[in-house]
Structure formats: structure tokens, C-alpha cells
Amino acid sequence: MTYQIKDDEVVILIKPILDDEGFWDWELKTGIFIGKEVASVNETAGRAALDAAVSMAAVLGFIKDYPDFVDELTEYKEDILQDMFPQQYEEAKRDTDESYTTDDNVIRLNRWTKTEGNA
């Protein structure tokens, strides 16, 4: 699929970096592409679009330095995923809502169960 950047767009590209053997080492590269006329169509809107793209790219480095911040983004990420994939989101939500099951005196945790200490 090829996408032609329109003159009034700012686009952020995220690409996984693979080693020589084709394995991913958890590194992502970002690129920002700016349409030819983004600032001249509406200077304020163009600056806002560029600032948003730079902010999105900066989040990857920020999270690397502050991994606990990922939890702060969860609500925002869930809103986006719900809009993009409504059916899959509802299915996943049902799975995560059932964070544990019981069988007599045994409690079985699933992978989304939040615990403190030893579980």
C-alpha cells in the first residue's frame, strides 16, 4: 500500500528495527514527514500538527526513561483502540473483566489480574 502525503498533512511513521537475521530487538524508529504546504494552508494548524507529531514520536523515548508512565496512558490508549476496533475491544474487555476464577479453594489468576506482593 502506498500513501501520498497531502500538502496539508503531517505524518508520523513508526518502524520496527530488525537485526541482520530479521529479529526484532524491541527498537522502534520514528520518522516525521511534512506536506509541502502544511504551514501555508493555516500556520497555526500546521504548527499544531507538527507539534502533535513530534510529541507522539517523543513518547517512545519518554516511556523508555519512565516505564511507569505507560500506566498513565492506558485510558487514552483504550479510547483509541475502542474507536478503531470496537468489536475486538469488547471481546478483550470481557476477557479482562474476568480477572480470576475459583475452583473450590483454588483461585486462578489470568494474565490481566493486578496483584501486589506474591501471587
Which residue(s) pair with 15 in the sheet? 29
pTM for the whole structure: 0.65
pLDDT tens profile 21-48: 999 988 889 999 999 888 777 888 888 9
> Which residue matches cell numbers 496512558?
73
Cα distances (Å, whole numbers) of residue 104 to 96, 99, 107, 112, 117: 22, 17, 8, 21, 23
Strands (E), 1-119: 10-18, 24-34, 100-103, 106-109
pLDDT tens profile 43-94: 888 889 999 999 999 998 898 899 889 888 888 988 998 999 999 888 877 7
Q: Transcribe 51-69 into DSSP letters.
A: HHHHHHHHHHHHHHH-TTH
Distant-in-sequence, close-in-space partners of 95: CB < 8 Å, separation ≥ 6: 110, 112
Question: Which sequence spans correspond to the domains of the chain?
Answer: 10-103
